[in-house]
Every structure is written in C-alpha cells, then in structure tokens.
Structure 1
Amino acid sequence: MEYHRITSIEDPLFAKMHRLMQEVFPPEEVLEYSLWKEPLEDPGIRVFVAVHEGEVVGATEYRYYPDFNVAMTDFTIIGRPGLGIGRYLWKNRQTDLHELAAQSGQKLFGMFAEIYDPYLGNDHEFGGVKPMNPYVRREVLSHLGYKVLDLEYVHPSWNNDGEAVEGLNLGFMPEDDNISELDTRLVTSFLHRYYSVLPNKPEAWNRMVAELEAKDMVALLPI
C-alpha cells in the first residue's frame, strides 16, 4: 500500500478519492469537485490516499495549526475491509503530525474530530462499507483515545447554505490521556478558524459558539 499526498485536482487519484467520498458520505458533507482546487493547493491542508493495486481504497484529510498546537482530522475513509486500511492511515497520519509539531518546536497537544453519533438518530449507511459504520467508528475512536466535548454540537453545512448539520459530536484526542477538559478559548478560536471558509453560518452555530465563549473550560467526556 502507498500513502500518497494529493495536492491538485489534476492528480488522477483525486477523481477516485472524490468518487469514494460521494459513495460513503452524505451529500452535505462532500465539497463540490471544482471547489477542491484551492484546498488541495493549500500547504496547510494535508490530503492523503491509501493506494492498493492502483485503486484508492482509503483516504484522510487533516491539518495542523502550529499556533494552537492542535490538529484536526477532517475525514477518514476506509473503502474496503480486510486490508488494515484504518491502522495504515492512522500510523502514517500520526507520524506526519508529530513531525509537523516538532518542526514548530512543539509536542502535539491533541487532535479534534467531528464524530457521527448514531445514538442521536444519525445512522448513516456510509455506502454500505461496514468499517465505516458509525457505531464501529465511535468505538474505534474511543480505543484511540478520543473524548467528546460536553456541548450540543452543530456545524455549518459544507453546501454553504446557512443550514446547521446536527447529529455529530465534537471530539478531541489529547496526547495526555489525563486531560479531562479544554480551555474554551482554544475551542472557539479553532472553530472560528476552521469554518472561516463558510461565511453563511447558521444561527444555531453562532449560539453554540457564544455559549462556549461565556465559559472558561469545557469538559471532555468518554465516548
């Protein structure tokens, strides 16, 4: 298997990755094809695919914010069972993130991720790919050390239509498993930065951020 970085929509593997995304994610979670041009060319956004026998069988997108010393996992796709794709993507991503943190003279503090919560009725089929089952994903993320922030989470739709997407948790995996809460300034600063590309914020998102800004800390709860 090859861990290949995609930096252009002209890369023939990008079309395969985008098709895989459309197969496993709901439409409001997938950025339109042509709109990927600038993100892929952004050196801070890291998009990698797992390539097996010439086919894209997995993918992950993530980024590292040196001023916050945290990472964000945008998505992880496991396209086939039985190839160890999840572990392969995880190990390569962690190695890359630790190197990025070291380059800025830091040790990675932790990583955010938006996590589907099927217990809220958000039971996506994910194209019928069993490793992508949201119950399985939550348990895997728990094993890796992810916790969820104690708040009712929504995020702006990637359709940029001002709609709020519900049915997810905001997760965080601290490198130090003893950390049980986060400074809300870190959380709100991260959310403002991450969603700065979407000008049409839903009112539910604005309320959520305002409520966070009124607090000092937010608890991290077990999954």
Structure 2
Amino acid sequence: MEYIRVNSIEDPLFSKLHNLMKEVFPPEEVLEFDLWKEPLEDPGIRVFVAVQEDEVVGVTEYRYYPDWNIAMTDFTIVGKPGLSLGRFLATKRMEDLQSLAVEQGVELFGMFAEIYDPYRKTDHDFGGVKTMDPYVRREVLSHLGYRKLDLDYVHPSWENDGQAVEGLDLCFMPTDENTAELPAALIADFLTTYYSVLENKPEKWLSMIEALKRKETVALLPL
C-alpha cells in the first residue's frame, strides 16, 4: 500500500479520488472537479490517497494551521473493506501532522473533524460502502479520541448555495487527553478561516459564529 500526495487536478490519481468521493459522499459534501485546482495547489491543504495495484482505495484530506498548532480532517474515505485502510490512513496522517508540528518546535495540539450524527439524521447511505456507515465512522473516531464540542453545529454547503448543512457534530481530538475544553475564540477563528472559500454563508452559520464570539470556552463532551 502506498500513501501518495495529490497536488494537481491534472494528476490521474485525482480523477480516481474525485470519482470515489462522488460514489461515497452526498452531493452537498463534494466540491466540483475544477474548483479543486487551487485547494490542491495550496501547500497547507494535504490530500493523500492510498493506492493499491494502481487503484485508489482510500483518500484523506487534512490541513495544518501552524499559527494555532491544530489540524482539521476534511474527510477520510475507506473505499474497500478488509484492507486495514482506516488504520493505514489515520497512522500516516498523524505521522505527517506530527512532522509538521515538529518543524514549528511543538507537539500537535489536536485535530478538528466534522462527524455525522446518525442518531439525528439517518438518510446517508454513503454509496452503500459499509465501512463508511455513519454509525461505524462515529465509533471509530470516538476510539481515536475525538470528542464533540458542546454547540449546535451547522456548516455551509459546499455547493455554495447558502444552505446550512445539519446533522453533524464538530469534534476535536486533543493530543492531551486531559483537555476538557477549547477557547471559543479559537473555534470561531478556525471556522471563519476554514469556510472563507465559500461566499454564501447561511444565517444559521453566521449566528453560530456570533454566539461563539460571546463565549469564553466550549466544553468537549463524550462522542
């Protein structure tokens, strides 16, 4: 199994990973093919594929923010069962992130992720790929150490139509398991930066950001 970075839409591997995304994720979660050009060329956005026998069988995209010493998992796709892909991708991703943190002279503080809550919203089949079932993914991420932030979370649709996407939790995996809360300003600043590429922000999202700005901290709860 190879762990290969993709940084151009001209890379043949990108077509394969984009097709895999469309097979697995709902439409509002998939950025159009041509709109990937700039993100892939951004050195802060890291897209890696798991390749076996010239086939893209897994994908992960994540970012490291040196100013905050945090990361964000954009998505992880396990395309086939029985290959230990989840562990392979999680291990390789953490090795890469820790090396980026070491370059800053620190240990990674932690990593954000948006996680579907299937107990609230049950209409995601994720292309029928059982390893991507929201119940399974939620438990796996819990085992990895993710905890949900104590807020009513929405995010802007990646279709950039101004709609709010609900049914998810914003979660955080702290490197120090004793971390019980995060500064609300950190969350607000991070989300504002992360979604700056989308012009059409839903009112629910804007209200959520304003509410965060009025808080000091946000608790980390069991997932």
TM-score range normalised by the length of the shorter chain: over 0.9
Could you tell me how far apart the structure 2 residues matched to 1:15 and 1:121 are? 30
Indicate if the aligned counterparts of 1:109 and 1:175 stay in contact, CA closer than 8 A: yes
The equivalent of 1:50 in structure 2 is 50
1:111 and 2:111 correspond = yes
Farther-moved stretch of structure 1 (119-128 vs 190-199): 119-128
1:175 and 2:185 correspond = no
Indicate if the aligned counterparts of 1:123 and 1:134 stay in contact, CA closer than 8 A: no
1:189 and 2:181 correspond = no
SS of 1:148 mapped into structure 2: strand
Tell me the CA shift for residue 104 of structure 1.
Answer: 1.1
Deviations 1:144-181 (A, max 9, x none): 00000001100000111111000000010000111111
The equivalent of 1:147 in structure 2 is 147
The equivalent of 2:30 in structure 1 is 30
> 1:1-223 counterparts in 2 under 5 A?
1-223=1-223
Could you tell me how far apart the structure 2 residues matched to 1:42 and 1:202 are? 26
Query: Among the aligned pairs, what percent are the same residue?
Result: 70
SS of 2:107 mapped into structure 1: coil
The code of the aligned residue for 1:102 comes to V
SS of 1:119 mapped into structure 2: coil
Deviations 1:114-166 (A, max 9, x none): 00010112441111111100000000001000000001100000111111000
The code of the aligned residue for 1:117 comes to D
Deviations 1:75-132 (A, max 9, x none): 0000000001000001100000000011111110000000001011244111111110
Could you tell me how far apart the structure 1 residues matched to 2:16 and 2:198 are? 25
The code of the aligned residue for 1:15 comes to S
Could you tell me how far apart the structure 2 residues matched to 1:62 and 1:122 are? 26
SS of 2:204 mapped into structure 1: helix
Could you tell me how far apart the structure 1 residues matched to 2:44 and 2:183 are? 24
SS of 1:118 mapped into structure 2: coil
SS of 1:161 mapped into structure 2: coil
Could you tell me how far apart the structure 1 residues matched to 2:77 and 2:213 are? 33
Tell me the CA shift for residue 22 of structure 1.
Answer: 0.2
Could you tell me how far apart the structure 2 residues matched to 1:157 and 1:122 are? 18
SS of 2:193 mapped into structure 1: helix
Deviations 1:60-85 (A, max 9, x none): 00000000110000000000000010
Indicate if the aligned counterparts of 1:116 and 1:122 stay in contact, CA closer than 8 A: no
The code of the aligned residue for 2:165 comes to V
SS of 1:187 mapped into structure 2: helix
**TM-score, structure 2 normalization:** 0.99
Could you tell me how far apart the structure 1 residues matched to 2:48 and 2:143 are? 23
Could you tell me how far apart the structure 1 residues matched to 2:162 and 2:104 are? 35
Could you tell me how far apart the structure 2 residues matched to 1:37 and 1:121 are? 32
Indicate if the aligned counterparts of 1:184 and 1:212 stay in contact, CA closer than 8 A: yes
Could you tell me how far apart the structure 2 residues matched to 1:122 and 1:219 are? 26
Could you tell me how far apart the structure 1 residues matched to 2:93 and 2:31 are? 22
- Give the RMSD, CA atoms, in angstroms: 0.6
Could you tell me how far apart the structure 1 residues matched to 2:143 and 2:171 are? 13
Could you tell me how far apart the structure 1 residues matched to 2:153 and 2:96 are? 28
The code of the aligned residue for 2:189 comes to S
Alignment size in residue pairs: 223
Deviations 1:194-219 (A, max 9, x none): 00101111000000111111110001
The code of the aligned residue for 2:87 comes to R
Query: Gapped runs of 5+ residues in structure 1?
Result: none
